[in-house]
Structure 1
């Protein structure tokens, strides 16, 4: 990952190591954003950043591909929401497709 950090030109790198042969998350960012990692797991990285003097919370999510495990991700997000009073951006792949009809291009 550090070679990608250098190639992409970012100052900082935060990683969550994979479990076995799957998973793992990486967050690349610049020093100028004053980033504090508040929480991380194999499914998300939650940060607080100062951007142009404004405090912003951001959560980068990779939802569990196993349907039975998805509730844990949502439980964590709901818990986080109870302490948030500032701007909050959630972005990622939430893996929340209910049926194949929601997809384009078939299965």
Structure 2
């Protein structure tokens, strides 16, 4: 386990314990400084079919229930929060975005913002069929924001995938850069 922790960059007194997973999420508890600071991370994949997305929101609700740790959730939610997070293609129905905003509110999670390009998913190379959306994001509860006040979420350039990678830097000893960009 120690070699895996070193490979993943958790060699400096950080312990990661997987508490659960399914095809659509992985849930871990992270202990830093010999357990002095404990927080939770969930890697999340939202249901890609809109009619089935309620299953994803119920999973998020179930993961939230009973949680008293600072909590970061990041991944591909397969949904946007606002219409300006989409360019091209058919217009997203307001009820879909409302459902996403509601589950985040119910779970006491707020969007972390980002730096880098605004879209995290792109399909179609021609102007006539190009669609861009911000499907991938990080969200966290208030206690996570308080634990990591200098965090930054970066959208990196995508190359082989239609999604761009996200990097969440907790910036333990750094200044918070412009992560309020929307």
Normalising to structure 1: TM-score of the pair?
0.63
Check whether the contact 1:11–1:30 (CA below 8 A) recurs between aligned residues: no
Structure 2 unaligned blocks of 5 or more: 89-129, 132-182
Q: Deviations over 1:29-65 (max 9, x none)?
A: 6354211111111111011110233110111111121
| Greater Rg over alpha carbons, structure | 2
What residue is the counterpart of 1:48 in the other structure?
Answer: 29
Runs of 4+ in 1 over 2 A off after TM superposition: 10-13, 28-33, 97-102, 104-107
Residue-pair matches, total: 84
What residue is the counterpart of 2:73 in the other structure?
Answer: 90
What residue is the counterpart of 1:39 in the other structure?
Answer: 20
- 2:45 & 2:83 partners in 1: Cα distance? 19
Structure 1 unaligned blocks of 5 or more: 1-9, 14-27
CA-based RMSD: 2.7
Which structure carries more strand by proportion?
A: 1
